[in-house]
Structure 1
Amino acid sequence: MKKILASGLTLLLLTACGSEQAGTSQEDETSGQTEVKNEVQKPKESTNTEKKDTDKEEKVEPSKEVIQTRDYKINENNWSIEPIGDSNPKVVLLTIDDAPDQHALQMAKDLKALNAPAIFFVNGHFLDTPEEKEILKKIHDMGFMIGNHTYSHSSLKDLSPEKQKEEILSVSDLVETITGERPKFFRAPFGQNTDYSRQLAKEEKMSLMNWTYGYDWEKQYQNKAAIADIMINSPYLNNGANLLMHDRTWTSEALTDIVKGLRAKGYEMLDPNRIKTIE
């Protein structure tokens, strides 16, 4: 009788283990220099092979590593990123504005494949539909930081304080609703902050961020080869350079070459989580 009970118990345990192992889990801005107008869930089963492949491409596991060390800071005199202490000075920061328009999700996928962090600065008018909100959620879930770039991309200097508040806070509220986090960085359209926007950003615990250089709104750089070349070989490329790019066809096409070219020059793509922000 004991042997029969032991055999039954062994069978039950093997069956439970087998069941556990079989379980499944599941763009548009005209911008420029300051004061000038100048983006692992398993796929669902499908009998359509092409659809299954598409699902695999779009479902990317969120980054699980959260870097706690804040060992860089923003230099508001030139908007470069400076190391605190003995951190590596040879870094650049990648930023993508006017997201998520048409190419932000693909840009995020390309950056993720390269393990290249970046900030995606979003406009509220690109978050009007459920599809656009889902794109932003995917970008965030890939581990990318989301920044505030106002709702309509209007020049803040032309707006009343009440309207500026609406332009800024509506985007922070939207981003929080979509991602669960409020933005930590604010970038004013055209780099044109006002006394009011500076104060509001501070109250909202958002650090101001402009840029060191960017070119993809200029006609001569609106192709893959030209924008890749100037972003890699700009005379303004130096330690801590803050690179401005946009959700644009040519920039998206060149993004992989840009990252590889910067790395070939010895630059590290800085994780924005390492930048000291307002607490």
Structure 2
Amino acid sequence: MRQKGLALIFCFWFMIVTVACTAVNSEAPQATVESSENNVNPQPNVEQKQTAYYVDSGLFKIHAVNDSEKVGEAEKIALLTFDDGPKGIVTTEILDILDKYEAKSLWFVSGFNYGVSIDQPDPAKADRFRTLVKEIHQRGHLIGNHTWSHANLRQLSAEEQKREIASMNQLLEEITGEPVRFFRPPFGADTDVQKLYMKEAGMQTMNWSVGSLDWELKEAEQVVEQVVSTIHPGANILMHDLPIQVEALDTILAQLREMGYRFMLPTELEPSLAES
């Protein structure tokens, strides 16, 4: 009888322990989930591979590097470029419009806005030039070389051509602290001397595929129509640092956005693919 009583007590104790363990185990996953919800860990900082683009050396259109087999089917991107600046209030007004659309651009600047030469700055221009180039750069845009005097390179000697490019590079690198990657010859007049210089300097020659004609048209509406009617996927748009462009630019950007265009970052360009 005594042994039977002990057996009953043991069985009863075993049942209590089993039930308690089951209850604890059944609650454990719920407690774990609740803890993970209260302490959300961010996703690992996985680096996203950014698409790289290049400017073809024939039509100067923009293409994705990995899309060379579909050269004629470039996506709806457009590169915005501005020549001949910087020019004071006009420059800052253009920058403000670009900011409105969160658009970045490539500015091909010329040294005549600074002075006669890098060693002969114009007191009335030099400080403004430095300030504006810094502002363009600090607001996320890229600075390119448009020669010092805006001369037609085909009318210069080999040494004069090199000096036009080298002195501009020197000043821009001094102001921005970065090497100059892109060059646009005035009037689109490239030369063999200039192309060789680009290759040796690791730079890219870049003309354009869409001209806004803001340098000859008289009305802003005409400039808008010129750009919108000639736009194409991979467009490389030439504009200028001019008052008429201040009037036209907002409408140009708005209409291109409505047409599905993205304004690419100049930093997405790969100049290493340029001169071949």
Q: 2:252 aligns with which of 258, 264, 269?
A: 258
Q: CA RMSD in A?
A: 1.9
Matching residue of 1:89:
75
Matching residue of 2:188:
191
Matching residue of 1:275:
269
Q: How does the TM-score come out when normalised to structure 2?
A: 0.72
Q: Any stretches of 5+ residues in structure 1 without a counterpart? A: 1-66
SS in 2 for 1:85: helix
Which structure has more helix as a fraction of its residues?
Answer: 2
Equivalent runs, 1:127-142 vs 2, <5 Å = 127-128=114-115, 129-142=126-139
CA distance in 2, matches of 1:240, 1:252: 23
CA distance in 1, matches of 2:96, 2:87: 15
CA distance in 1, matches of 2:265, 2:177: 20
Q: Does 1:225 align with 2:195?
A: no
Q: How does the TM-score come out when normalised to structure 1?
A: 0.71
SS in 2 for 1:151: coil
Figure out how many residues of one structure are paired with residues of the other and give that number.
210
Q: 2:168 aligns with which of 168, 171, 189?
A: 171
Question: Structure 1 residue 229: deviation in Å?
Answer: 1.9
Q: Which amino acid aligns with 1:98?
A: D
Q: Does 1:106 align with 2:93?
A: yes
The sequence identity of aligned pairs, in percent, is 35
| 128-137 or 192-201: bigger deviation | 128-137
Q: Which amino acid aligns with 1:74?
A: V
Question: Structure 1 residue 101: deviation in Å?
Answer: 2.1
**Cα contact 2:107–2:144 (8 A) shared by 1:** yes
**Cα contact 2:133–2:175 (8 A) shared by 1:** yes
Q: Any stretches of 5+ residues in structure 2 without a counterpart? A: 1-47, 69-73, 116-125
Question: Structure 1 residue 113: deviation in Å?
Answer: 2.3
Q: In terms of Rg, which structure is larger?
A: 2
SS in 1 for 2:162: helix
CA distance in 1, matches of 2:57, 2:261: 21
Question: Structure 1 residue 193: deviation in Å?
Answer: 0.8
Segments of 4+ moved more than 2 angstroms: 67-70, 84-88, 215-219
Question: Structure 1 residue 124: deviation in Å?
Answer: 0.8
Q: Which amino acid aligns with 1:214?
A: G
Q: 1:78 aligns with which of 59, 62, 73?
A: 59
CA distance in 1, matches of 2:179, 2:93: 23
Deviations 1:34-71 (A, max 9, x none): xxxxxxxxxxxxxxxxxxxxxxxxxxxxxxxxx98451
